[in-house]
Amino acid sequence: MLKYIAKRIILMIPVLILMTLIVFAIFYFAPGDPVSRIAGPNVTQEVYESIQRKYGLDQPFIVQYHRFIRSVAEGDLGISILQHRPVIEMIKERLPVTLQIGLLGFVITFVIAVPAGVIAAVKKNTAFDYLCMSGTLLGIAIPTFWLGMLLLYVFAYKLRWFPISGDGSLRQLILPGFAIGLTNAAITARMVRSSMLDVLKQDYVRTARSKGLYEKAVVYRHALKNALIPIITLMGLRLGWILGGSVALEIIFSIPGLGRLMVDSILSRDFPVVQGAMMVLTSSIILANVLADILYAVVDPRIKYG
Amino acid sequence: MKGNKIRKILVVILAVLMLVSSAAGCSQKAGSGAKEKVLAIGYDQDSDIMDTMKTAWYSDALIYIHDRLVTRDYEFGYQPGLAQQWDVSDDGKTWIFHLRKDVKFHDGKEFTAEDVKWTIDTIKDPDTASPFSGDLDAIKEVNIVDKHTVEMVLNYPFPNLLYNLSATASGIHPANAYEKYGDDYGRKVVIGTGPYKLEEWIPGDKTVLVKNNDYNWGPDWMSNKGPALIDKIVLKIIPDENSRLMELEVGGIHILRNVPESSVEKLDNNPDITVHKRPATKLGYLAYATDKEPFTDVRVRRAINHALNREEIIQFVLRGIGEVAYGYLPPALKDEYLQESKDLAYEYNPEKARQLLAEAGYPDGLELTLSADNSSKSSKLAEIIQNQLKAVNINAKIQLYDSAGYADMLREGKQELFIREYSWSNADIIDWFLLSSRFPYPNHSRWVDDKSDELITYAAQRPTWDERAEAYKDVQRYLIEQAVWAPVYIPMHMIAVRKEVKNFKFHPWMLQYSDGFDLEVE
């Protein structure tokens, strides 16, 4: 098991290198560079070039890429061209709030989705099931940012229960957390329901019932445990969605998180920052998938990693 | 028994009274704490570094942290700032600045000639790579005459030095700030002599300024020369436009700069909010690569000018909030703007446009590309211009870019027709965009013309401000005749202010919060 985890983590390295190479190439060859932002619209060509030289942006691709890789190896992920400080420091400032929103969204997702999915499966073809399923259809159709705007309008602007723009308090996390949670709960609930329905058809469930077990014990002790296995995979995959979804939400709710750092840096072409943020995102998605694989083995003794 | 009951009641009453009075005491305390006047302003984006010398994209906070040698009053006139007075030699090449003697930096250090020299030398030092260095090209050297007198020797007469020294980027820093504060300078520490001090900056979130209680060197044109009345200013970054407007409506922010045209009607109907409008020192224009066919022909350039129905554009793009532009400068620059621009320029006349195109050898019209940045305003502008050009047989294909990509494309010279809006409060914008020495960047319209160079250089190097202003009028006359651009509109500078803000004064350039602005707090 440990060997397996070590292998997965070592495999991250080529993925990350490939990712940085792609991002770097996009920024190198795409039009625009950070100097336009530093310089503003009215500078002479000489000043423009002197700024370019100062930040080493006049150097060939391979030199610039090498410099970036070296700074990654040194652990500071490079220096922001616009902010003149280590990227790692900027990420440390921005990451916690994004993780908090993501975590809250994650919790809300499963608190809503698991019971809703299970009950809908157990009470298949009843009014509750139909209500749940049409609700989830709506949830899938609504984009996260739109739900975020709606929540902001109703609960912050009209009812004034929450701050409109981030104020640094924990209260600021609730609306974006719900925006993520509700939209993700929709798709998760459908998965739980269908997986539960599959399990409920299995022989061992029939055996459990014929043994005379209470329906509750059948559903929660025997069926749910097995139905959750595909859900764990889904959890790992959804993490990427959740982090990605928070980009738009951080803009709508004025929360200075990692997503906004990334968008701002893309627009101003501050590529060391984009690289750093991408590395954090990529690694966390890979790690979440590794974690899901490990959980697999924990939940299902049949799965073993050699 | 009865007496006992009464006693009980008395005890209860007493207890209630004590509670109430203690609660009142509490609320009084809370009240005195809440009396701190905190003004919140909304912005769409933050700057990257809190240092006027290292970026052109500086935070408004720096306007209030630093003072400058020269200030500009409510009428846009040049007035003393940190320099009490200045003398210019007859040839216009030596300027002596007499500095105030009563000024202290936020760190307690006395303000002297050394600080002025260090600031200007640092901006001009190529190692700083300051985007502002080009603006100080005229300065050859800065000499310290005595502790409170500075001499600036210029390469050529340059009355516009007043403008450059009054710019935000000319804020005076304490000498050797970089050595003293190291990497923290521009991040955690910024030292100036201004009415507000930096308390905290959380990049991308907010900047908190706290008033400088020692400040009593406000310029003479201000009604308040002492410390500001508002205790703190919070510059809050709210990237989403709708969220900014909602915050203004609920009072989360008191002032919103750059109000979008689309929200003016709604805000005007809100009794708590006043939208102040003045023509901005901005110009929106349609330009073209004048070194490429068919734009090398002045008849084509004039035809394009005749093809534009500017009123319709302002209705469609700016919801009618803006003014028609015919000249090359914003009329708000009273001294320099050529008043007869409208009479000299090209009125809307599609028939004449078609005729000019035919004369130029394009009777069947033209196929061109029209580039713009991808903001909703620019893309709307591109659409309507495309439509109006179509009416005179010019088929323009629209090409949109993001802002960094757009600047790059212009630098590489791929443009044919393109849309720009500049924001600048000085006639030297003409130098930036149209001198041949600025080709190809920032001379995007690729205008290389000896007569223009001669007229512009002559104007820029007049020894006095008035002569300079007059000479720039000749420049504008020539540019209109040559139809170098097709000027389109002057947008409105709009600032929304909530009712809690008292003594609001509209400054054409930058709001002067230290000049008696007050805030009503509950």
Cβ-based burial of A235 (10 A; exposed 0-12, middle 13-18, buried ≥19): buried
Q: Considering only CB atoms, which chain B residues are within 8 Å of A43?
A: 56, 131, 134, 442
Facing residue for A164 by CB, picked from B246, B408, B409: B246
B306 and B241 co-located in one domain: no
Contact A264 B236 (CB under 8 A): no
In this prediction, residue B27 carries a pLDDT of: 39
Facing residue for B252 by CB, picked from A41, A165, A251: A165
Stretch B245-270: mean pLDDT: 93
Strand partners, A86: A79
How far from chain centre, in Å, is Cα A84? 28
Contact A37 B240 (CB under 8 A): no
In this prediction, residue B469 carries a pLDDT of: 94
Eight-state DSSP code of residue B187? T
Q: Considering only CB atoms, which chain B residues are within 8 Å of A254?
A: 236-240, 243
What is the DSSP track for B126-168?
GGG--TTGGGGTTEEEEEEEETTEEEEEESS--TTHHHHHHSG
- Whether chain A has a CB inside 8 Å of the CB on B441: the answer is yes
**Is it the case that residue B53 has pLDDT exceeding 90?**
yes
CATH architecture classification, A96-256: Orthogonal Bundle (1.10)
Facing residue for A165 by CB, picked from B54, B236, B409: B236
In this prediction, residue B447 carries a pLDDT of: 95
Nearest CA to B284 out of B414, B372, B391 is that of B372
Q: Considering only CB atoms, which chain A residues are within 8 Å of B282?
A: none
Is-contact B246 A157, C-beta < 8 A?
yes
Q: Which chain B residues in 332-391 lie under 8 Å from chain A, judged by CB atoms?
A: none
Gap between the Cα atoms of B372 and B386, Å rounded: 12
CA dihedral A117, A121, A127, A132 (to 10 degrees): 20
Position B329, amino acid:
L
Residues sharing a CB contact under 8 Å with residue B286, sequence separation 6 or more, in sequence order: B304, B308, B385, B417, B418, B419, B485, B486, B488
Residue identified by tokens 């003794």 is A301
Stretch B313-320: mean pLDDT: 94
In this prediction, residue B11 carries a pLDDT of: 52
In this prediction, residue B14 carries a pLDDT of: 46
Strand partners, B396: B368
Better-scored residue on pLDDT, A168 or B180: B180
Contact B243 A253 (CB under 8 A): yes
CA distance A54 to chain B (A): 7
B379 and B484 co-located in one domain: yes
Contact A164 B252 (CB under 8 A): yes
CA distance B399 to chain A (A): 14
In this prediction, residue A208 carries a pLDDT of: 86
Q: For chain B, what is the domain count?
A: 3
Give residue-wise pLDDT tens across range B339-352.
999 999 999 999 99
Q: Considering only CB atoms, which chain B residues are within 8 Å of A264?
A: 45, 204
Give residue-wise pLDDT tens across range A20-46.
889 888 888 888 888 888 887 777 788
User: In terms of residue numbers, what domain contains B288?
Assistant: 282-491
Facing residue for B432 by CB, picked from A42, A85, A165: A42
Gap between the Cα atoms of B509 and B425, Å rounded: 8
Q: Considering only alpha carbons, which residue of chain B is nearest residue A151?
A: B243
B227 and B354 co-located in one domain: no
Facing residue for A39 by CB, picked from B48, B131, B186: B131
Q: Considering only CB atoms, which chain A residues are within 8 Å of B285?
A: none
Gap between the Cα atoms of A208 and A201, Å rounded: 12
Query: 3-state secondary structure string, A62-96?
Result: HHHHHHHHHHHHHCCCCECCCCCCEHHHHHHHHHH
- Give B221-224 contacts, CB < 8 A, sequence gap 24+: B221/B71, B221/B73, B221/B74, B221/B77, B221/B79, B222/B512, B222/B514, B222/B515, B222/B516, B223/B515, B223/B516, B224/B514, B224/B515, B224/B516
Does residue B174 have a cis peptide bond before it, meaning omega lies within 30 degrees of 0?
no
Contact A254 B252 (CB under 8 A): no
In this prediction, residue B4 carries a pLDDT of: 57
B385 and B456 co-located in one domain: yes
In this prediction, residue B21 carries a pLDDT of: 39
CA distance B183 to chain A (A): 8
Interface test with B, best of A38, A152, A169 (most B CBs within 10 A): A38
User: pLDDT class for B175, splitting at 50, 70, 90?
Assistant: very high
Better-scored residue on pLDDT, A20 or B272: B272
- Whether chain A has a CB inside 8 Å of the CB on B293: the answer is no
CA distance A119 to chain B (A): 38
Position B238, amino acid:
I
**Is it the case that residue B3 has pLDDT exceeding 60?**
no
How many other CB atoms are there within 10 angstroms of residue B44's CB atom? 13
Task: Dig out the tokens for B68 from the structure.
Answer: 């400058």
Strand partners, B146: B149
CA distance B102 to chain A (A): 34
Contact B129 A54 (CB under 8 A): yes
Q: Considering only alpha carbons, which residue of chain B is nearest residue A52?
A: B129
Give residue-wise pLDDT tens across range A207-245.
888 888 888 888 888 888 888 888 887 777 777 777 777
Q: Considering only alpha carbons, which residue of chain B is nearest residue A152?
A: B243
CATH of the domain at B218: 3.40.190.10
pTM of the model: 0.85
CA distance A59 to chain B (A): 17
CATH of the domain at B382: 3.10.105.10
In this prediction, residue B483 carries a pLDDT of: 96
B111 and B228 co-located in one domain: no
Task: Dig out the tokens for A125 from the structure.
Answer: 């073809």
- Rounded to 5 degrees, what angle do the CA atoms B355, B358, B360 make? 110
CATH of the domain at B133: 3.90.76.10
Q: Considering only CB atoms, which chain A residues are within 8 Å of B238?
A: 164-165, 254
Query: 3-state secondary structure string, A225-260?
Result: HHHHHHHHHHHHHHHHHHHHHHHHHHHHCCCCCHHH
> 3-class SS at A163?
coil
- Whether chain A has a CB inside 8 Å of the CB on B200: the answer is no
Gap between the Cα atoms of B131 and A36, Å rounded: 10
Facing residue for B247 by CB, picked from A32, A165, A252: A165
Least trusted range by pLDDT, from B18-32, B263-277, B293-307, B380-394: B18-32
What is the DSSP track for B220-268?
TTSS--SS-SSSEEEEEE--SHHHHHHHHHHTS-SEEES--GGGHHHHH
Contact A157 B441 (CB under 8 A): no
Stretch A51-66: mean pLDDT: 87
Count of CB pairs separated by less than 8 Å, A with B? 145
Strand partners, B150: B97, B144
**Is it the case that residue B70 has pLDDT exceeding 80?**
yes
B515 and B400 co-located in one domain: no
CA distance B315 to chain A (A): 28
Least trusted range by pLDDT, from A118-122, A294-298, B1-5, B430-434: B1-5
Q: Considering only CB atoms, which chain A residues are within 8 Å of B125?
A: none
Domain definitions of chain A by residue range: 96-256
Q: Considering only CB atoms, which chain A residues are within 8 Å of B43?
A: none
Q: Which chain B residues in 264-283 lie under 8 Å from chain A, judged by CB atoms?
A: none
Contact B131 A50 (CB under 8 A): no
In this prediction, residue A52 carries a pLDDT of: 87
How many angstroms separate the most distant Cα atoms in chain A? 87
Contact B134 A82 (CB under 8 A): no
In this prediction, residue B1 carries a pLDDT of: 43
In this prediction, residue A58 carries a pLDDT of: 87
Q: Considering only CB atoms, which chain B residues are within 8 Å of A37?
A: 48, 55-57, 404
Gap between the Cα atoms of B185 and B173, Å rounded: 11
DSSP H helices, chain A, are 2-29, 34-39, 45-54, 61-74, 87-122, 127-141, 144-151, 174-200, 203-210, 215-217, 224-252, 258-268, 271-299
Cβ-based burial of B9 (10 A; exposed 0-12, middle 13-18, buried ≥19): exposed
Stretch B415-427: mean pLDDT: 93
- Whether chain A has a CB inside 8 Å of the CB on B413: the answer is no
Gap between the Cα atoms of A295 and A234, Å rounded: 12
- The whole-chain average pLDDT of chain B stands at 90
Q: Considering only CB atoms, which chain B residues are within 8 Å of A83?
A: 48-49, 187, 203
Element (H, E) at B469: helix B465-482
User: pLDDT class for A306, splitting at 50, 70, 90?
Assistant: low
- Whether chain A has a CB inside 8 Å of the CB on B501: the answer is no
Q: Considering only CB atoms, which chain A residues are within 8 Å of B242?
A: 149
- Whether chain A has a CB inside 8 Å of the CB on B210: the answer is no
Q: What angle do the packed helices A258-268 and A87-122 form, to 10 degrees?
A: 130
**Is it the case that residue B2 has pLDDT exceeding 70?**
no
In this prediction, residue A54 carries a pLDDT of: 85
> 3-class SS at A217?
helix
Q: Considering only CB atoms, which chain A residues are within 8 Å of B129?
A: 47, 50-51, 53-55
B221 and B332 co-located in one domain: no
Contact A268 B404 (CB under 8 A): yes
